[in-house]
Structure 1
């Protein structure tokens, strides 16, 4: 009850309405000792129960409309997912439906129907390589012990961090090198199919654009950024036979992952709102093309709730027309 009471004070409705937007990526069917940064079905259901108890959870498009109209209810929140993983359909959506809730799913359209993102190629290669040590020094990626779930996880994070901000050709070169050293096969069913996306929409979920290939926009030329944005929007609109008005920046850190000029491209493309991964909550003064998102990583009720309240306590980071530091 303390979380609910504090949330009501810090997130009033109406003219002073504030919107907490939560972000997820995957929900695993079962707990994975390596991928412990993603909740499993039981953990996700627990989070949803907490959110329903503490917040008024709205569909994101409706929440943004009400934010614009100054008619948000107290303790307003919305749920989002990024990238387009198949478990969003098979695991997360049934949990949401069982609680009468919806979410918005931002889709990197180039990976639908059997594709795989570069980071997942690294994750799956390392966790299934079957070796106790992985020597990647030939590509400057170090030597990694793989003798426990924690060691595998540490190796994955080290490699991901080393590769993430390389230029795209160099990043793909590193992924190919890892595959050649580690061996093994990679899954082709990690991401949603086009049919599943349509089924999600028919089930009442919202669909948003998330570029085609999920690039670091700040590393792209303006014409490339425009193409990534508009082609993902067009693909989804053709697939769903309806307008797509929401967008999420890949990775989403202001200045690091996208630039002020990328925001201006979004403004020109008939989107209602665009979402970042900057912490904070949205209010009337927030830039609709840079709305913040935040999800606590804590696994206990008290800590999860306390961190949500802390996020409400701070002022929104992205004001109209300003790129966050």
Structure 2
């Protein structure tokens, strides 16, 4: 999920038009063949939800989580099958363990969170086309069926009749906007500011709003439903990888260290118990440079995971140097077929940029976009 400023939106529009131009001219295939000869980096696609774009006036959840439509997703996976080398991330880990080079044009497909449209929509398309993928799920939400906290926060802000919004944790005290688009903009601001406070403060703040506004997440509608263990077992039996996305999608670097370690180990223990194969892969919730650090990386390694993904945009020139902080390429709903193909062919030029924050530590110093 990438939220953009106006300037970034204009840049994205330029990328989209340039991508469509390269695509329609037929240049991309030749560029891809040339690139695969001199640059053998691993590209990892990152998705969240696959669904038709709803009416913003009636859809009560976070629009930014919608990666693409079912039709476009089918076209994107068909392109991977024709022109690239789709790989399982565990096969990548095995190649790294053996010191073997990855094949040219290696691409992995990943999903974060665990929404049930991953099972209903994405899984059948992937299976029919024979494309491997990894689904990173937050085990606590699979256990309970409760919605993801950030999405539920957006839902509450859109639906509440409260006259004001008072969030002392975020220095927000203001009248509640009347217009729906203004409420969406406010939700984006709240989500952004939340990344600056601890994960425990984030959870407590959302719990308080649930109580104050009488909007318990246990009564959430089906639109924000996570997958079930039976669905995940069916996907696993079909050859799809299920990895960890934490327990309750909390920013691991924002937790006290002992709680962070418990979160990582508990998610793995649950996956190992519910599925017939031991979990080997991790994706850090939120995944930006404020959501994980060297302590999180070490805890992930010590828990027994073989590789981990960030949500920092880029490709992996030598995954052995950053196998616990792998870059990914976010797929966003405004990407047409040309832009998507151009992003895979020229990722540094055509992908979304990642906002980097000065934190005093660099968990991905060895990475090369």
TM-score by length of 1: 0.84
Please say if 1:19 is aligned against 2:42. yes
Q: Take 1:308 and 1:195, find their aligned partners in 2: how far apart are those partners?
A: 33
* Aligned mate of 1:278, from 296, 309, 312: 312
Q: Structure 2 vs 1, CA of residues 163 and 253 (structure 1 numbering), >3 Å: closer, same or farther?
A: closer
* Aligned mate of 2:194, from 163, 166, 171: 163
Contact 1:141 1:159 in 2 (8 A): no
Please say if 1:2 is aligned against 2:2. no
Count residues with an aligned counterpart.
Answer: 313
Contact 2:197 2:254 in 1 (8 A): no
Structure 1 residues 119-158: aligned runs within 5 Å: 119-129=150-160, 135-137=164-166, 139=168, 140=172, 142-148=174-180, 150-158=181-189
Structure 2: gaps of 5 or more residues: 1-25, 355-361
Contact 1:136 1:181 in 2 (8 A): no
Q: Structure 2 vs 1, CA of residues 242 and 307 (structure 1 numbering), >3 Å: closer, same or farther?
A: closer
Please say if 1:41 is aligned against 2:70. yes
Contact 1:106 1:248 in 2 (8 A): yes
Q: Structure 2 vs 1, CA of residues 222 and 137 (structure 1 numbering), >3 Å: closer, same or farther?
A: closer
Q: Report deviation, 1:10.
A: 2.8
Please say if 1:263 is aligned against 2:297. yes
Q: Give the match's secondary structure for 1:136.
A: strand
In the other structure, the counterpart of 2:227 is: 192
Q: Report deviation, 1:117.
A: 2.0
* Structure richer in helix, relative to its length: 2
Q: CA RMSD in A?
A: 2.8
Structure 1 residues 215-254: aligned runs within 5 Å: 215-254=250-289
Q: Structure 2 vs 1, CA of residues 137 and 238 (structure 1 numbering), >3 Å: closer, same or farther?
A: closer
CA deviations over 1:172-197 (Å, ceiling 9, x no partner)? 34324544565556416511111111
